[in-house]
Structure 1
Amino acid sequence: MDESKQGILLETGTNELEIIVFEVGTSLFGINVLKVREIIPAQTITPIPNSHRHIEGIIRLREEVITVVNLTDVLGFEPANNLNDDKFIIAELNQLKVAFRVQDVSRIHRISWQDIRKPNELAQNIETAATGVVKVEDDMILLVDFEKIIVDINPERSISVHQVKQLGERERNNKKIIVAEDSAILRKLIGDTLKEAGYDQVQFFEDGQALWEFLYNKKEDESLFDDLQLVITDIEMPKMDGHHLTRRIKDDEILQQLPVVIFSSLITEDLFYKGKGVGADAQISKPQIVDLIKVIDQLVL
């Protein structure tokens, strides 16, 4: 294994993340470093006729054509005066590369998922909700829900119940699954899709900490493994991330026999080593729900 992969493994499961803080309009926002491929000065854009209102157009970066999304537009701020000073954050999520236009980028901060709080209900009613908020020094940083931005622009990038139909007729299954997923929208989509696939017994938790506490409190119950067959977890969640949750399950002498599937938009070639390092039984990239169901079928036999 090369040195970069070793570094990834050494930092696995610490329940910490690094965020890049950037400026849009008059506010500060953050993005998980794991989503960022590079940051470049704003480039000349080729417009796309009849595209979504938040899409500025496309750029050619080396051998790739990448769509540019204007975060000033998405987040409802007034257009910047001098676009030449803007930056493009080249991000990869849901197996898609996107350039997000921002005004400025500052330094990287290392924080704990324990320090991230969910926005209150009022804040979550904005068009593009934040996944969390964290105080860094004297600043409040909103972590943008980039996955929601992509799905709002292109709904085909989301999980769909209709995808399950390609699996054909399926019988009802009494196996119980528990899921850690912080997005209310995705909890509903995953629940509806698993139900369509025959898995009716699904219980959801809003973050890894809540799921871990549930398991920890039940692990001495002799009937635990009769009632529960599988754990599915996202990676990015307040309080406890999916890698840390997986490591705690797999380090526990009793709970380690539970299969754990990581289902996240962050499954890239490099990050696959993180999931493997904490003992995940499988890793599936959102929104590949059919692949997730096939893996569940194998693991709950």
Structure 2
Amino acid sequence: MTSVLSSVDQRTNLVGQNRLELLLFRLQGPQFFGINVFKVREVLPCPALNSLPGAHNHVRGVAHVRGEPITVIDLSAATGGKPLVDLKTAFILVTEYNRHVQAFLVGNVERIVNVNWSEMLPPPAGVGRSHYMTAVTRIEGRMVQVIDVEKVFSEISPMQEEISESVKQAAEQIDLKDITVLVADDSAVARNQVRRALESMGVHVELVNDGKQALDWLVNKAGQTDNLAAQVPLLISDIEMPEMDGYTLTAEVRQNDKLKGIHVILHSSLSGVFNEVMIKKVGADQFIAKFHPDELASAVQKWLQPQLEQQPG
């Protein structure tokens, strides 16, 4: 099954075309789940696991993969289901995102499918806040749930979300009272992390769930003012989002005369060389890997300061 990811390097040509590839898997039963291939480093039959005393109860142990100890999380248990029982037939998805490497224990791995982000829809209304979906789609007539692995990992290993005092003090030198920063991210965990970080600096934040919502919000705002960039000088966007990804959103912003003056930070759990290439291709100002509050806050100051200095006093 490792070979299922052997051509990942060839898949970077999907980036910027509003397309992605999903690795489909099952936990228990017939339900299909998905994860973006770019988050997955390797797929392996479940190796021997060493117990980890005192670990979170959803952590099944530590696997040694190519000499590297990696925490293995039972994805079924972590998303509200029963723990997986038969490890002899199970697999682990070795993932890399949010500056961490971790593995998820799953029941079975199916295949990789190529889909358009426009086919990825937000979770249905009415499912509440405790679900673990970032999107849903249909593959060959079957419902596929894309799991919010950022939320899963944050519940097991919470991240530092506070901005340091030195960064806050630097932010106090900037008058932010008439400024709005738009944040687009399909993960509620990520949206709230960014919101808390920016609000602690005194920045007014508007939140949307995907690229299409962000573009609609900006176009609507642009219709109400002659200089949108003075009011909304910065967009912070995730890359992988349903309906419209962050690369496509950035390209749309740059091609719109009323929006192109807005700075764009792509803030993503994805990492890799292709990010740097795509940043230049679509015209984003900066890429920041999730989630380091001081790094994000410093970038916000960097792009807001020149914009504010240009405003009439």
- TM-score, with normalisation over the residues of structure 1? 0.89
Tell me which of 235, 249, 271 is aligned to 1:245.
249
* Matches for 1:131-280 after TM superposition, within 5 Å: 131-155=134-158, 157=159, 160=161, 162-169=162-169, 170-171=171-172, 172-174=175-177, 175-199=179-203, 201-219=204-222, 221-280=225-284
**Post-superposition offset of 1:268:** 3.1
* Residue aligned with 2:271, SS: coil
* Residue aligned with 1:123, SS: coil
Seen in structure 2, the aligned counterparts of structure 1 residues 163 and 20 have a Cα distance that, compared at 3 Å, is same
Residue in structure 2 matched with residue 91 of structure 1 by the alignment:
95
Q: Which amino acid aligns with 2:35?
A: I
Residue in structure 2 matched with residue 13 of structure 1 by the alignment:
16
* Residue aligned with 1:266, SS: coil
**Post-superposition offset of 1:166:** 4.0
Residue in structure 1 matched with residue 27 of structure 2 by the alignment:
24
Seen in structure 2, the aligned counterparts of structure 1 residues 11 and 251 have a Cα distance that, compared at 3 Å, is farther
Residue in structure 1 matched with residue 311 of structure 2 by the alignment:
none
CA RMSD of aligned residues (A): 2.3
Q: Which amino acid aligns with 1:130?
A: M
1:135-175 deviation line (CA, Å, top 9, x unaligned): 111211110010001100011x25x2x23424242425233
**Post-superposition offset of 1:102:** 0.8
**Post-superposition offset of 1:184:** 3.2
Q: Distance in 2 between matches of 1:70 and 1:197?
A: 37
> Which segment drifts farther, 24-33 or 162-171?
162-171
Aligned-residue identity in percent: 30
Q: Matched residue pairs, number?
A: 293
* Residue aligned with 1:239, SS: coil
* Matches for 1:92-111 after TM superposition, within 5 Å: 92-111=96-115
Seen in structure 2, the aligned counterparts of structure 1 residues 7 and 182 have a Cα distance that, compared at 3 Å, is closer
**Post-superposition offset of 1:253:** 3.9
Indicate if the aligned counterparts of 1:95 and 1:268 stay in contact, CA closer than 8 A: no
Seen in structure 2, the aligned counterparts of structure 1 residues 87 and 7 have a Cα distance that, compared at 3 Å, is closer
* Residue aligned with 1:190, SS: helix
Indicate if the aligned counterparts of 1:5 and 1:273 stay in contact, CA closer than 8 A: no
- The one of the two structures with greater contact order (alpha-carbon pairs below 8 A, sep at least 6) is 1
- TM-score, with normalisation over the residues of structure 2? 0.86
**Post-superposition offset of 1:7:** 6.3
* Matches for 1:120-131 after TM superposition, within 5 Å: 120-126=124-130, 128-131=131-134
> Which segment drifts farther, 52-61 or 167-176?
167-176
* Residue aligned with 1:240, SS: coil
Residue in structure 2 matched with residue 71 of structure 1 by the alignment:
75
**Post-superposition offset of 1:62:** 1.2
Q: Distance in 2 between matches of 1:112 and 1:90?
A: 24
1:74-129 deviation line (CA, Å, top 9, x unaligned): 23334445321111111111011111111111111111222222223443444x52
Q: Distance in 1 between matches of 2:193 and 2:156?
A: 17
Q: Which runs of 5+ in 1 are unaligned?
A: none
Q: Which amino acid aligns with 2:15?
A: T
Q: Which runs of 5+ in 2 are unaligned?
A: 1-7, 307-313
